[in-house]
Amino acid sequence: MTTIYQKTKGLQDTELHYCPGCSHGIVHKLIGEVLEEMDALGTAIGICPVGCAVFAGNYFSFDTIEAAHGRAPAVATAVKRTHPDQPVFTYQGDGDLASIGAAEIVHAAMRGEKFTTIFINNAIYGMTGGQMAPTTLIGQKATTAPLGRTREQAGMPIRVAEMLATLDGCVYAERVCVTDIPHLNKTKKALKKAFQRQMAGDGFTFIEVLAACPTNWSMEIDEANKWLMENMAAYYPLGVIKDTEAM
């Protein structure tokens, strides 16, 4: 019998705790596939965030370290510098990366740390129950912005990929999403490129994934994906933000 599809060896045989329609599971799978294809499951070290992906180490089959909230880039800095020949990545949400860990991500990018950051931007705090994130859109409701985010009260949402792209240490930044198969394929390609450039020693690489959180957005799955494409992708444009190879 011919195998036409099988689960990546990059994931364990564990049931994921993510909600229906959540993008985390898909991105986990893509990371597992990319590292498997690169024959890196024995060498890869992943740094997990605080947030919904806090249990990622129970799902990935390679070694992982759970960082304190926002500190994954600092942890990854040490891991990569002491294991320079191994692929290292951080997996962080928007609260973790763009709020409490803003200093750590900016400085890791500034130093051109040779690891990859996978930034899951779903414009909301998931695990703590739908509070406003730095990436929450204007007008979007959150449990700490019950009437919707306003510019006066909370400022404008932060475009992290664009911000990090201004730093010379960042060699590759792309924004992707996983709402359908073509976008999912693009995401996988972007992830692979990021890891390849990391292993080539080029510098800091950054993949921002616009992600859906139907639970905290109070939407059906299809509705959430549609909202993501119409609203998030409008404010956070998809595509390559920076690629020093193409420059």
Partner 1 sequence: MKREIWKGSEAIAEAAIRAGCRCFFGYPITPQNEIPEYMSLHMPQRGGVFVQAESEVAAVNMVYGAAASGVRAMTSSSSPGVSLKQEGISYMAACQLPAVVVNVMRGGPGLGSIQPAQGDYFQATRGGGNGDYRTVTLAPANIQEAVDLTQEAFDIADQYRNPVVLLADGLIGQMMEPIVWKERTPRPLPEKTWAACGRGSRDHNNFITSLLIDAPACEAHNLDLAKKTAEMEKNECRWEEILLDDAEVVLVAYGTPSRVAQTAAENLRKQGIKAGVFRPITVWPYPYARLREIAARESVKVFLDVEMSLGQMLDDVHLAVAERKPVRFYGRCGGAIPHVSEVEGAALEAWKEVK
Residues of this chain that bind partner 1 (CB under 8 A): 12, 41-45, 47-48, 54-55, 57-58, 60-68, 71, 74-79, 81-83, 86, 103-104, 106-107, 111
State how far the Cα of 91 lies from the Cα of 187, in Å rounded to an integer: 14
Least distance to partner 1 from the beta carbon of 58, Å? 7
Closer residue to partner 1 (CB): 74 or 137: 74
**Cα–Cα distances in angstroms (integers) from residue 50 to residues 63, 93, 138, in the given order:** 17, 8, 25
**Comparison of 73 and 214: residue with beta carbon closer to partner 1:** 73
Structural contact between residues 91 and 46, judged by C-beta atoms closer than 8 angstroms: yes
Quote the least distance from Cβ 238 to partner 1, whole Å.
30
* CB closer to partner 1, 58 vs 218: 58
Distance CA 158, CA 222 (A): 26
User: How many CB atoms are closer than 10 A to CB 124?
Assistant: 26
User: Min. distance of Cβ 206 from partner 1 in angstroms?
Assistant: 17
**Nearest approach, Cβ of residue 72 and partner 1 (Å):** 8
What value does the CA radius of gyration of the chain take, rounded to a whole number of Å? 17
Q: Rank residues 117 and 136 by Cβ distance to partner 1 and give the closer one.
A: 117
